[in-house]
Structure 1
């Protein structure tokens, strides 16, 4: 797939690849997509998870195939002649998703993405991260990280990475987190608590985080309110790149260290984050590295 379609950072826009499972329309951020290939019969793997169809080997790389219909509890395709594989890379993991048709790519603003309410996506259980209305249809953006983690929990947040940090002294340094996943926000907060950081402010997207920072700035005691920002990239209303851009363009807020903690950390994304002024960037499974980054940034930057 031509990754040249990817937008420059900080515009608060994204490209969504629309595809179908049966009559349902779904979406994935183009930044996660490496390639789209026609369906070929996979090689089955004995005793694999029921959602794993098997493996195939494009470009001399063995890739596991997830049957997305099974993962979503929907019927399999009746006609595989139009079926496709969406090859992805996120959290430093390559995976292919078997879908029924690929419709096309849409450029949208994060502000146009509606976050599902608790009836659709309660923390820890739902796989919908956002909904877009385009013309006469609704496109559901799926949480591919959760789908993969449900199949293999080892691909998720590596909480064991902070086991050696649990005897540290309590630290009241205020840290603001922008993370739209309720489950991940809770896990990150629990991990930081175990590592000694007890003063955590949680927000559910970049817009909410930025409004909180402006509120702290107006109060005149910003230094006492927040000393570090941790942000995801993919979030409704305002993404983490746009949040980073706004912080680093503000003469008062720019002294706050910003850590981008996302499943989308690739060399291309690191380049974009660096251009926006992010102080550090790391992939979501690396919770131990996140704690080390906070230690370093708070220790080095006197704000």
Structure 2
């Protein structure tokens, strides 16, 4: 099963996406099994294959089964059920592997079965906080109700960062980045500016917020495009009541693309259609930012784009957009 629609998420801010539903079969104490339903954005999937032959990798991280060749790329195979703490059968012969391609990395995830592709609106994708109190360690970024099932959309960036910390954005520390001006004068200038950060992953959102805050910026954090839009409309209303320009309250926006309720491209499109935010600096910060998707983001009005591993570029980019 190859990727049939790698760009559906980013088609002109339509606020739609396609997800692949897949399953893990949880082994219960009484010998029975329970199907656990999960999902991943089609745009992150290169292909779905039968379990390949793997080679053991020395000193591998926990839950890494081994490595295999995927289109001539050395690819780690991750025991997804093991990482999630879901006990499943140890027999892999009838299982599948989802091969992902995002953040300029290729990874394989072992699953029990593949179901189907659902095309849905982000309006129908719910934030997990509606079900439970999500924190930085939560690996569920969204929930989809489909045919009486709850399909959990997993935070694959968080999973990869946990298994291979060397590839994680957590390695970045703005305080030791010599390319970022951290003298008191510049930090004070940033103290007078406010950036809105929009990302459904609490893990990623915290990293972005910490990076910008450490550099001196004030940060307003939102967990999805819907919350961001609501807050920005409130800011516009307050600005009108106090006879202020919106730019005196919000200086820039950094937004993820795939999010519950309203995706980042649709948020961008709606903001650019308003007089209040037509000129606000907006940067799209996504794991799916290919050259083609960057072109689409710029065509909708984004000032720039960043692929998520490139968090080291964020402060300098904000400085250039806000102080130029």
TM over 0.5: yes
SS at the partner of 1:25?
strand
1:9 Cα deviation from its structure 2 partner: 3.2
- The question of whether the paired residues in 1 share the 8 Å contact of 2:138 and 2:202 is answered with no
- Pick one of 11, 15, 25 that aligns with 2:14: 11
SS of the counterpart of 1:50? coil
Matched, 1:185 2:185: no
2:277 corresponds, among 245, 250, 253, to 253
TM-superposition CA deviations, 1:79-100 (whole Å, max 9, x none): 5343111111122211111111
**1:110-138 Cα distance to aligned partner (Å, 9 max, x none):** 12112113874631222111111111211
Aligned to 2:96: 84
- Summarize deviations over 1:237-262 as a string: whole Å, max 9, x none: 11111111111122331100110112
1:25 maps to 37
- CA shift, 1:53, in A, is 0.6
The whole-number CA distance in structure 2 between the counterparts of 1:112 and 1:253 is 26
Q: Distance in 2 between matches of 1:209 and 1:88?
A: 28
2:168 & 2:285 partners in 1: Cα distance? 13
Residue pair 1:112, 1:237 contacting (<8 A) in 2 also: yes
Equivalent residues of 1:149, 1:155 under 8 A apart: yes
1:78 is displaced (CA, Å) by 5.2
Residue-by-residue CA offset, 1:145-168 (whole Å, 9 max, x unaligned):
111111112222242255233434
Structure-2 separation of matches of 1:39 and 1:130: 27
Instruction: Say whether residues 1:224 and 2:214 are aligned partners.
Output: no
> Which TM-score applies when normalising by structure 1?
0.92
| Structure 2 gap segments, 5+ residues each | 26-34
Within 2, Cα distance between the matches of 1:211 and 1:217?
A: 10
CA–CA distance in 2 between the matches of 1:5 and 1:169? Answer: 40
1:184 positional shift: 2.6
Q: Please, which of 144, 150, 172 is the counterpart of residue 159 of structure 1?
A: 172
Tell me the distance in 2 between the aligned counterparts of 1:264 and 1:77.
32
User: Equivalent of 2:289, from 265, 275, 280?
Assistant: 265
Contact 1:88–1:96 (Cα < 8 Å) also in 2: yes
Superposed, 1:48-87 pairs within 5 Å as 48-77=60-89, 79-87=91-99
Q: In 1, Cα distance between the equivalents of 2:221 and 2:69?
A: 42
Give 1:212's match in structure 2, choosing from 231, 236, 242. 231
Contact 2:6-2:45 at 8 Å conserved across structures: no
| 8 Å Cα contact 1:20-1:103 kept in structure 2 | yes
Give me the whole-angstrom Cα distance separating, in 2, the residues matched to 1:33 and 1:212: 32
The alpha-carbon deviation at position 72 of structure 1 amounts to: 0.9
In the other structure, the counterpart of 1:45 is 57
Q: How many Å apart are 1:63 and its aligned residue?
A: 0.7
Find 1:276's aligned residue among 276, 300, 303.
300
Distance of 1:186 and 1:46 partners within structure 2: 32
Report whether the alignment pairs 1:293 with 2:317.
yes
